[in-house]
A and B are shown apart, each in its own frame.
Chain A
């Protein structure tokens, strides 16, 4: 008999053994006891939570010789043949390697009509069902909706979102949950006892923590650790097998981070690398350690106690006192960034050194970045929205005078239009300046398409950019009307073409004669003025100046329209 991996050897053989999925098993057992058996089940949840095991248990419960029973005997002919995978009526299909419509047709659809050969029900277990092709899913729909009375489908997947909604609606869905640390440690203890070996509680804890809530991971990791150990399984062995870094080193590193000696960071990194620690593992372990510190520092005593155990909690408390929750959060972000870099590059030593130095800076937030206000300590004076607004107003330059507007009917529509940020990749890069630079090109493009419209559009000037809406100001009501009624779509198309974006819209407005030009310049980089903060119109400038300015603009316009130059000025 060949060796079988632990997670196969100790697959749950009864509903009682199945840990941590009480919600699912109770429902299934009650349904079987009451004889209300559904025709299609969909099991989903994280890896290694017992989906396939439950599917097989269900098949046995339905087909056991002692009647459909919530407690299959496990000894009768059929139970045994199902366990060995030789039962003719329990068909397990690997949907990930047999993805096509032909596979589904051949294995399922053409076969459901035949009554079971020996058992009561024909059970189709379609594992990894998310990988079926779209066609194959569709081919299943009719069969799945109304199968013959002797057929039960069980679909299992880790990726629920990939299963089409039409399939989901035809099945009873059960979500499998990840196991708690407690559940996992109990499962590991049980297996260790059954295997006849012994282990330190700390070792079991370490494995359970690395398993991330998956029973199968826990047993695979245990298997690895057992391969490295001889006799009693110790925490050190587990660390060696799984590759985590010891708590002592981590604590030392954390103490160094709390200090302010940069050279120390380099020395520690050097020492760790010399001893052959994998940089990625070290970063991951450090991330986990800091997260535990955060638990303590944030005052989640109860959770910390549950996860770490009393002894470890006491040991970690002094280290946790070195940091504030804010700095720990920031260090976590730095580590996540470093982990990405490590994946992309080979020069791990330097990444590690730099990360440690950066973490050191992040650990002293007061120096560089002002600490985030802690909610509980500062009673809030304003409701958040108004506070945010006053803050924004304080940070922004004083509100700009804005010309009086005549609102157009499009206003409402433009405001409710979806924000462009979600639609366009470049949305963030577009500022008023960019827009102003691109505007001549928009004009040119538009003119090419409609020469007459171009003349009207030339009168427009950009007032402001509000999210995805460009506000254009017109002096002449006629031009405004023309562009608004006939050319709006075209302008938007050309605008987006010139900016290489999508979803930017325009809004045409009238501006009054005496408030020209100026706003377009001052509006640069200013945030859209909020309605509440609108200032009054600027008082008109002195008359002669205005006149000469108007002359200037007039001459400029003449030059523009006729493509000429000033030969002689009589003014």
Chain B
């Protein structure tokens, strides 16, 4: 687990939490929202450890767990019995995970909510991916979140508050994890990973302010080469003939299968036939990462053809090449390409057949025959 002092980025959220701790004004239910990879879980663990710590460090502007008491030691090893993380079981977080229900394992809250903590100062429940709470489960939290016992702290983590029940949101103290400014991410990457400034800027732009994502991308060296490969491929697209669209689709699929580090996962192993579903899901995630990369490329083309020299590019290292390519088509064409990429991305999530999807995408990306 982590302490506040080990976290980077999200200063304002950390500051707000520390101030709440300092003035001992921490409400019993918190909601952290932020995009995936923005550091919600790390922040929640830090807050949990600090809340449970008996002898927190307290200085001028700082409030943090001591890191030495039994509670902290357990927390740092992720073994604290009174800091419970609740994850969705499968696709959803079911009500039986919270409260005892017949024919199910005992619920976390039924088991422990009514007992004061022994080791730490607070009993902490961290509910991950709160947007996946079933309606029943979310409703069952209403009363406890409104009036939790003195010793309890609930932390809900979600991508966005609009995705969870408004009645839940209104009961929690809502802390937003803002996207980190691109410049800050770039600085961090440059100083921590010694990246050249151009690559750091590229990663910062691709991570869209999600600092966790940026760090992950920087920490995996394969990502650089994968992105190069995708961009090389992308650069060939604007001038390819329509007739080759099926071949391009084939290449898209192959490239998707090679996009492993960018999609943020272990390579899909060739296990037995028994579990094809996870492999299928992984393949889709890889294609999604590929599409998003292509979007950055076309977005640059659009920006260039609209704003010329003033354009702020994501792929600054290829500016000259992009400039040339952008002049081959109209802004309408690039924006059309982006639309079809978005559509393909959505269809990917909706389980469209990959072969057909890539083929129709390739056809709409390639140059119309007439012009």
Interface residues of A (CB under 8 A from B): 1-5, 8, 47-48, 52, 94, 96-97, 99, 127-128, 130-131, 158, 214, 216-217, 220-221, 223-224, 226-228, 230, 240-243, 262-263, 266-267, 270, 273-278, 280-281, 341, 343-351, 353-354, 357
Contact = CB atoms under 8 A, between A and B. Distances in A.
A274 B162 contact: no
B170 A99 contact: no
Given A263-B306, A278-B176, 16 more contacts: A1-B150, A47-B166, A96-B136, A158-B167, A216-B171, A223-B27, A227-B16, A242-B176, A262-B306, A266-B311, A267-B307, A267-B310, A274-B312, A280-B160, A347-B292, A350-B338
B163 A343 contact: yes
Nearest to B205: A349
Interface residues of B, number: 70
Most buried by A among B29, B141, B173: B173
B24 A240 contact: no
Contacts of A346: 35-36, 208, 292
Given A344-B346, A346-B208, A243 B182 contact: no
Nearest to A96: B139
Contacts of A344: 346, 349
A365 to B, nearest CB: 20
A2 B307 CA distance: 57
A128 B142 contact: yes
Contact of B25 (A94, A227, A242, A347): A227
A266 B331 CA distance: 12
A351 B346 CA distance: 13
Contacts of A214: 170
Contacts of A351: 342
A280 B35 CA distance: 10
A241 B16 contact: yes
A350 B142 contact: no
A122 to B, nearest CB: 20
Contacts of A230: 19
B355 to A, nearest CB: 22
A525 B26 CA distance: 66
A96 B345 CA distance: 37
Contact of A228 (B16, B331, B335): B16
B331 A262 contact: yes
B142 A5 contact: no
B174 interface: yes
Contacts of A240: 12
Contact of A3 (B24, B144, B331): B24
25 contacts: A2-B150, A3-B24, A3-B26, A97-B140, A99-B140, A131-B140, A220-B172, A223-B25, A224-B175, A227-B16, A227-B20, A227-B175, A228-B19, A263-B306, A263-B310, A266-B311, A267-B307, A276-B184, A344-B349, A345-B342, A346-B36, A347-B292, A349-B208, A353-B303, A354-B338
A126 to B, nearest CB: 11
A189 B167 CA distance: 23
B322 interface: no
A285 to B, nearest CB: 13
Contact of B139 (A128, A216, A221): A128
In the A-B complex, the 3 residue pairs with the closest CB atoms: A263-B307, A2-B150, A96-B139
A270 B314 CA distance: 10
B87 interface: no
Given A128-B142, A220-B170, A344-B349, A274 B183 contact: yes
A168 to B, nearest CB: 19
B338 A5 contact: no
B55 interface: no
Interface in B312-371: 312, 331, 335, 338, 342, 345-346, 349
Interface in B1-50: 12, 15-17, 19-20, 24-29, 35-36
A107 to B, nearest CB: 14
Contacts of B299: 349-350, 353
A474 to B, nearest CB: 43
A351 B335 CA distance: 11
A270 B141 CA distance: 40
Contacts of A347: 208, 292, 295-296, 342, 345
A273 B182 contact: yes
Of B139, B172, B335, most buried by chain A (CB within 10 Å of CB) is B139
A227 B19 contact: yes
B171 A224 contact: no
Contacts of A353: 299, 302-303
Contacts of B247: none
Contacts of B143: 94, 96-97, 127-128
B12 A96 contact: no
A559 B331 CA distance: 57
B181 interface: yes
A245 to B, nearest CB: 11
B120 interface: no
A228 B12 contact: yes
Interface in B165-192: 166-167, 169-176, 178-184
A242 B170 CA distance: 13
Contacts of B338: 350, 354
Interface string B112-141: 000000000000000000000000100111
Contacts of B12: 228, 240
B280 interface: no
Contacts of A278: 176, 178-179
B222 interface: no
A343 B159 CA distance: 9
B250 interface: no
B136 A220 contact: no
Given A262-B331, A347-B292, A228 B146 contact: no
Nearest to B149: A2
Contacts of A216: 170-171
B176 A343 contact: no
A221 B174 CA distance: 8
A5 B28 contact: yes
A227 B19 CA distance: 6
A240 B29 CA distance: 20
A8 B35 CA distance: 30
Contacts of B172: 220
B295 A350 contact: yes
Nearest to B174: A224
B37 to A, nearest CB: 10
A99 B98 CA distance: 13
A48 B173 contact: no
Contacts of A267: 307, 310, 312
Contacts of B139: 96-97, 128, 130-131
Interface string B142-165: 111011001100000000101100
